[in-house]
């Protein structure tokens, strides 16, 4: 068994008091969040920040304090069984325009319900559910203020 670990984030932005989540379409066809392998000596949040920058061009992420979730899945590659852990943070951006890298074939900003449908894997859907539930309680989130004003 080969073990892999990646880190990434559920990236969201706010427009007219609505929240939009960023989904990426991977070359293999699935829709997921921005994430990638942890480089040697790198802290998980730094990996997430770097991957978001490399995969989307977004440079202004602000991590939402207190959110850190882990999923585990298995897949096969070149006849090798791979056990993979991915740690997800939650991060806000003000950037709308995305520039995807060669690793992806599409990107979309979607409201919660649509993002939930579009995500391919159940474990990614769970992460989105947790993110969406966490945001109204988050201390350092501009959305909380926006929600109170409604
Ligand atoms: P990374 O973005 O971490 O560098 P990657 O692009 O190399 O990852 P993954 O997105 O982990 O690869 O996909 C590798 C395999 O795992 C694919 O076959 C994919 O379908 C599957 N996979 C990806 N995410 C999940 C998930 N949440 N649950 C189950 N299988 C998944």
Condensed to tens digits (0 to 9), the pLDDT of residues 43-63 reads 999 999 999 999 999 999 999
Q: Whose CA is nearest to atom 4 of ligand 1?
A: 36
Domains in the chain: ranges and CATH: 2-149 (3.90.79.10)
Condensed to tens digits (0 to 9), the pLDDT of residues 71-109 reads 999 999 999 999 999 999 999 999 999 999 999 999 999
Q: Ligand 1: which atom is nearest the Cα of residue 84?
A: 11
Q: Whose CA is nearest to atom 7 of ligand 1?
A: 36
Cβ distance 8 to 33 under 8 Å? Answer: yes
In order of 39, 48, 116, 117, the CA distances from 129 in angstroms are 28, 19, 8, 11
Interval between CA 144 and ligand 1 midpoint (Å):
32
């Amino acid at each position: 068994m080969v073990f892999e670990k990646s880190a990434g984030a559920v990236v969201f932005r706010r427009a007219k008091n609505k929240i939009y989540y960023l989904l990426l379409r991977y070359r293999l066809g699935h829709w997921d969040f921005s994430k990638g392998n942890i480089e040697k000596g790198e802290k998980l949040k730094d990996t997430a920040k770097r991957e978001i920058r490399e995969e989307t061009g977004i440079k202004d992420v602000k991590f939402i304090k207190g959110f850190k979730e882990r999923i585990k899945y298995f897949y096969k590659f070149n006849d090798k069984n791979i056990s993979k852990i991915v740690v997800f943070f939650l991060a806000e951006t003000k950037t709308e325009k995305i520039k995807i890298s060669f690793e992806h074939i599409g990107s979309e900003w979607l409201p919660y319900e649509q993002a939930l449908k579009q995500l391919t894997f159940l474990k990614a859907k769970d992460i989105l559910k947790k993110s969406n539930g966490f945001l109204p309680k988050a201390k350092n989130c501009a959305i909380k203020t926006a929600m109170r004003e409604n």
